[in-house]
Amino acid sequence: MTWHIKTFDQLTTHELYDILQERTRVFVVEQECAYLEVDGKDQASYHLFKVENAQIIAYIRLMPKGVSYQEASFGRVLVHSDYRKTGMGRELVQKGLAFLKDQMGEEVVKIQAQSHLQNFYESFGFYAISNVYDDDGIPHVDMIKEEIET
């Protein structure tokens, strides 16, 4: 299993296709949520993903300040269904936070989390800064982490 971190321009067409396919599989099909998954933020983002047997099994989109919020952010966090409940999600978020701090020099990170994952993100030091609200039929909450530890 190999971890990769790439800018949009560094992604091969096959990697981009595989990323978009897996994101669509999870966020549109599995969660039964019809929305514009390709939102124009990928070009300004870093893409951290893990590949096993030529398949993306974990992915997170890392966004510099100004792409989604005034703060750095991440989103489109996914783990392939065969690898859930293995610690892969925790490893993925840890690697994403480490990249934001160590490579981008960020200390503050703001995210839009699905509300059922609030406790998961709180375990990394995030805290809610909004009430739960509906976004495309799925309950979400805005969260922030003000100091990244690696």
Check which CATH number belongs to the domain holding 73 and give it: 3.40.630.30
> Can you give the residue range of the structural domain that contains 25?
2-146
Q: What is the DSSP string of 80-128?
A: -GGGTTTTHHHHHHHHHHHHHHHTT----EEEEEEGGGHHHHHTTT-EE
> What total of structural domains would you count in the chain?
1
Q: What is the pLDDT along the chain (150 residues), one digit of tens a residue?
A: 689 999 999 999 999 999 999 998 887 777 666 666 778 899 999 999 999 988 999 999 999 999 999 999 999 999 999 999 999 999 999 999 999 999 999 999 999 999 999 999 999 999 999 999 988 788 999 999 997 765
Q: Within the chain, how many helices (H) and strands (E) appear? A: 3, 8
Residues, the chain? 150
pTM for the structure as a whole: 0.92
